[in-house]
């Protein structure tokens, strides 16, 4: 080990001596060596900048793709919502021949709706849970209240579905929430007309 260190030291001394002798014989060598080192440093910086640029462009492309996908899905979701609402009000089924035809129609439309659902799932789009859940202002928009025995702020009805994409809300759900009976009547009395006792 000591021999190796000694040999390494001797090599460095020889290199330093050779360099010194070379500089004595070569005019402007120090200037040329400095220029060479500057060019090398510049090339290394350019190479690093190029790699950073490639990384930045790659990240920008990914973001552009994500934004494009989200925009398309945001345009698609209202159509899907209307489709669901229309499907929910399909005609009643009878046991006659017409009833069988209607059932076939319902089954076909249901299959198409399932395809729509699969498209959304493929893009990590999920419906926001509503009925029975507690109101969450980050996911829900309360457009009304109803008197209920359930806990206050429990969601009773879904008026318009909401969606998340990869965990991010892209459309809030519009809902009706529960209001405590006592509080509900108090608020109604505050904004409503006075009672006969109050008038007298």
Is the pLDDT score of 194 beyond 50? no
**Which residues does 166 contact at the CB level (< 8 Å), separation at least 6?**
124
- Region 112-133 average pLDDT: 90
52-85 burial: b if 16+ Cβ within 10 Å, else e? eeeeeeeeeeeeeeeeeebeebeeebeebbeeee
CB 134 within 8 Å of CB 155: yes
Torsion sign (Cα): 151, 152, 157, 160: negative
Output the DSSP codes for 28-70: THHHHHHHHHHHHHHHHHHHHHHHHHHHHHHHHHHHHHHHHHH
pTM for the predicted model, two decimal places:
0.57
Reported as a single tens digit per residue, the pLDDT across 102-115 is: 788 888 888 888 88
More confident residue, 87 or 48: 48
Question: pLDDT higher for 12 or 44?
Answer: 44
Pairing type for strands 163-165 and 125-127 reads antiparallel
User: What radius of gyration, in Å, describes the C-alpha atoms of the chain?
Assistant: 37
Which among 136, 123, 127, 116 is positioned nearest to 166, based on CA atoms? 123
Q: Is pLDDT at 175 greater than 90 in this prediction?
A: yes
Q: Is pLDDT above 70 for 193?
A: no
């Amino acid at each position: 080990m000591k021999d190796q260190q000694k040999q390494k030291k001797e090599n460095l001394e020889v290199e330093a001596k050779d360099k010194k002798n070379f500089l004595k014989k070569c005019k402007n060598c120090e200037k040329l060596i400095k220029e060479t080192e500057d060019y090398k440093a510049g090339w290394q910086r350019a190479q690093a900048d190029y790699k950073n640029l490639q990384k930045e462009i790659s990240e920008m492309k990914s973001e552009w793709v994500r934004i494009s996908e989200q925009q398309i899905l945001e345009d698609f979701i209202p159509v899907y919502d209307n489709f669901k609402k229309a499907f929910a009000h399909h005609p009643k089924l009878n046991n006659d021949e017409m009833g069988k035809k209607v059932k076939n129609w319902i089954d076909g439309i249901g299959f198409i709706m399932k395809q729509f659902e699969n498209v959304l799932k493929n893009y990590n789009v999920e419906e926001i849970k509503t009925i029975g859940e507690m109101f969450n202002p980050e996911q829900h928009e309360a457009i009304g209240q109803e008197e209920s025995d359930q806990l206050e702020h429990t969601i009773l009805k879904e008026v318009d579905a909401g969606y998340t994409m990869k965990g991010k809300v892209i459309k809030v759900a519009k809902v009706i929430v529960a209001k405590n009976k006592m509080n509900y009547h108090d608020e109604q009395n505050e904004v409503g007309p006075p009672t006969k006792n109050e008038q007298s």
